[in-house]
Amino acid sequence: GAVVSQHPSRVICKSGTSVKIECRSLDFQATTMFWYRQFPKQSLMLMATSNEGSKATYEQGVEKDKFLINHASLTLSTLTVTSAHPEDSSFYICSALLTGQPQHFGDGTRLSIL
């Protein structure tokens, strides 16, 4: 089946650091990938839609200059949390879309900002 790999699985870093998270579709090409954020005991909230070869589409309330998304190839999207602060600590999950199928989720990245 379709596999989505997300890396790293866990990041702990100091406030002010920028953190890059990678999302790869391993056995299929994904023109569209999605980035979600999940705070403790809450559901997944869509942050942005990543489109290969074009700018990402951000959901209302998500700062595009803080959460930089690059979808440079059909198998890779990256999310960079710039100048991360403790309130950015969360579980970040990507998914990839294969036409005609439900979204396939990566294993998630737990980000902790000290």
Give the residues lining the site for other proteins (CB under 8 A): 6, 32, 34, 42-46, 49, 91, 93, 97, 102-108, 110
By CB neighbour count within 10 A (0-12 exposed, 13-18 middle, 19+ buried), where does 106 fall? buried
Identify which of residues 45 and 68 has a Cβ nearer to other proteins in the complex. 45
CB of 84 to other proteins, least distance (A): 20
Secondary structure of the chain: what % helix, strand, coil (to 5)? 5, 50, 45
CB of 108 to other proteins, least distance (A): 4
Measured CA to CA, the distance from residue 113 to residue 10 in angstroms comes to: 11
Identify which of residues 35 and 84 has a Cβ nearer to other proteins in the complex. 35
CB of 1 to other proteins, least distance (A): 10
Identify which of residues 44 and 74 has a Cβ nearer to other proteins in the complex. 44
Could you tell me how far CA 91 lies from the centroid of its own chain? 10
